[in-house]
Amino acid sequence: MSERDFDHPDVVLVPHGPMLLRGAESVQDLEGTVHAVDRPVVALCRCEKSSRLPWCDGTHKVIPR
């Protein structure tokens, strides 16, 4: 099967939310630290307000848009 039936992007930007990343093995944060990924999907913080960067911790929901 060469044609794919469904869109299944590796990166999805959530409106006013994080970036969902599928199938990654490691992520480098702003300081240059590399974090191992052990989940099928991770949410990377885009608002830079998370308490556990580079991951989203839901804080974006409480900052005024």
Partner 1 sequence: MRLPKPRGGLSEWLVARLAEPGLTGSAPGADSWDDESISLWTLHELSFRGFEDADDRAEWDPDLLGVRRDLETALEERLRARWTEAGAVAAPAPADVPTALEDLVAADDGPSLADFVRRRADRDQVLELLRQRSVYHLKESDPSAFVVPRLPVRAKAALMALQFDEYGDGDPNRLHSHLFARGLEAVGLRAEYGAYVDDAIPENLEMNNAGSLFGLHRRLRGAAMGHLAAFEMTSSLPSRKMVQGLERLGLEGPMADYYDEHVEADAIHEHLAARDICGTLADDEPDQAAEVLFGAFTCLDVEARFATAMLRVWEPQR
Reported as type and span, the H/E element at residue 13 is: strand 11-13
Query: Minimum distance from CB of 27 to partner 1 (Å)?
Result: 12
CB 44 within 8 A of CB 27: yes
CB of 43 to partner 1, least distance (A): 4
Q: Tell me which residues in 2-41 interact with ligand FES (CB under 6 A).
A: 17-18
Give the separation between CA 25 and CA 46, rounded to whole angstroms.
19
- The site for partner 1 (CB under 8 A) is made up of 6, 12, 14, 17-18, 20, 38-43, 51-52, 55-59, 61-62
